[in-house]
Amino acid sequence: MKVFDVYPLNPIEIAKAAGLNVWDAAGQKYLDLYGGHAVISIGHTHPHYVQKLTDQLNAVAFYSNSVLNPLQQELARLLGEASDKQDYSLFLCSTGAEANENALKVASFYNNRKKIIAFTGAFHGRTSLAVACTDNPKIVAPVNQHDIEFLPFNDEDALESAFKTYGEEIAAVIVESIQGVGGIQEATPLFLAKIRELTSAYDAVFIADEVQCGYGRSGRFYAQDDSNLKADIYTMAKGMGNGYPIAGIVLSPKFTPWHGMLGTTFGGSHLACAAGIAVLEVIKTENLIDNAKNIGAYLLDELRTFDKTLAVRGRGLMIGIDLPEELKHIRKDLLFKDHIFTGTANPNVIRLLPALNITKKDADFFLEALNKRLSMA
Ligand SMILES: Cc1ncc(COP(=O)(O)O)c(C=O)c1O
């Protein structure tokens, strides 16, 4: 059997990883500013994480959601504390798409409606409803038909007029406070405030998709925290398990659960919770949210002094660098010549999504390499 060929692959086999570095099978070291797509939050093979997962694996790795699992309660406690949402509750699942699918379902259960508002540039995952809310017709199959309205991102007037016309039909508005796949585009505080105002006025549900921009990456626990608003539901995944598949939705007290309302086999397993707990412990003890804010600000300040880039956007450790078409080869050069992993977005955006424990030395290594590539171009 061969592997179903859906991913364009770099010809690099990663054999070892530690902190901000990975090594290929031939022993070449790389600086990882991509974090395996924003997943590595506390650094590769962090000793506390490895110990906690090893201990858990030796105790019990998995049992289903039919028995008590105090690790879920401990994870919820730590998450409530880290995000200052002690009065919210947590439902655990395994992927970002699954988190969004469940959040949208809870919204529809809550107000008994089915129209969803999503925005241009959005990416919410690949399950049926999540992909229907994703602004990329190429990956939406005919079977993924749902009642979705796409409105222009950051356009308060369009939102206002949509709510005026069919506000009573809207189940939820789903938004990334910083669009990732969309190329690091920030929602303005005014736009988020308008979503809050209108969803509250019409009893629709405000869903903050924090799968990529959340979990400390922006320099706040949720990227949306900078707007001083509260969403009704937050969805999270990537950084939550530092590579172990764990995702969650965090729901405001206005939602009442009932047995059978949501469910999944793997969500909240013992091993997943151990990973989630280890991540939150390290984020706290190593002050990683402050580090994300500080190193992110340093990178943004320095990058903005570079000429030849078209734009530099972002917040914390979610940074987009727009390159002109003729310099789009620089990302590959950084990988194959300077041995630095970065992410990408269309059309020619270098996306930085490093682990939150990146040092100034790592940042300087990248800045020097990019500066050299730009000056050679
Ligand atoms: C904002 C956002 N939401 C949802 C998802 C989907 O997450 P997953 O791939 O874990 O299903 C992604 C993945 O890139 C994302 O960036």
User: In 10 A of CB 149, how many CB atoms?
Assistant: 17
206 phi and psi, to 5 degrees? Answer: -95, 110
Confidence category of residue 347, pLDDT binned at 50, 70, 90: confident
Quote the ligand 1 centre to 242 CA distance (angstroms).
Answer: 15
Quote the ligand 1 centre to 259 CA distance (angstroms).
Answer: 27
Quote the ligand 1 centre to 324 CA distance (angstroms).
Answer: 27
Which pLDDT does position 250 carry in this prediction?
98
Mean pLDDT of 15-26: 98
313, β-bridge pairs: 320
Q: What is the pLDDT of residues 314-346, one digit of tens each?
A: 999 999 999 999 999 999 999 999 999 999 998
Three-class SS of residue 26? coil
Distance CA 103, CA 231 (A): 12
- 8 A C-beta contact, residue 190 and residue 156: yes
Looking at the chain, the number of H-run helices and the number of E-run strands are: 11, 17
Quote the ligand 1 centre to 309 CA distance (angstroms).
Answer: 27
Pick the CATH number of 47-285 from 2.60.40.10, 3.40.640.10, 3.30.565.40, 2.130.10.10: 3.40.640.10
- Residue 359's alpha-carbon distances to 133, 237, 312, 350, 367, in angstroms, are 36, 24, 20, 19, 12
Ligand 1 neighbourhood includes 96 CB (under 6 angstroms): yes
Where helices occur in the chain by DSSP H, the ranges are 35-38, 47-59, 70-83, 96-111, 128-132, 156-166, 189-202, 270-285, 288-303, 330-336, 360-376
Region(s) of the chain under CATH 3.90.1150.10: 14-46+288-376
Distance CA 272, CA 239 (A): 12
Mean pLDDT of 141-158: 98
Region(s) of the chain under CATH 3.40.640.10: 47-285
Confidence category of residue 121, pLDDT binned at 50, 70, 90: very high
Mean pLDDT across the chain, nearest whole number? 98
Give the architecture-level CATH label for domain 14-46+288-376.
Answer: Alpha-Beta Complex (3.90)
Mean pLDDT of 73-97: 98
Mean pLDDT of 117-130: 98
* H or E stretch covering 227: none
Confidence category of residue 377, pLDDT binned at 50, 70, 90: confident
Mutation test residue for ligand 1: of 119, 123, 126, 134, the one with most atoms within 8 Å of CB: 123
Distance CA 368, CA 347 (A): 24
309 phi and psi, to 5 degrees? Answer: -85, 150
Q: What is the pLDDT of residues 153-186, one digit of tens each?
A: 999 999 999 999 999 999 999 999 999 999 999 9
Going by the DSSP 8-state scheme, the letter that residue 226 receives in this structure is G
In ligand 1, which atom is closest to the CA atom of 180?
Answer: 16
Confidence category of residue 225, pLDDT binned at 50, 70, 90: very high
pLDDT at 11 over 90: yes
Ligand 1 neighbourhood includes 124 CB (under 6 angstroms): yes
Q: What is the pLDDT of residues 255-306, one digit of tens each?
A: 999 999 999 999 999 999 999 999 999 999 999 999 999 999 999 999 999 9
Which pLDDT does position 321 carry in this prediction?
98
Does the CA dihedral 133-213-271-259 come out positive or negative? negative
Residue percentage of the chain with pLDDT more than 70 = 100
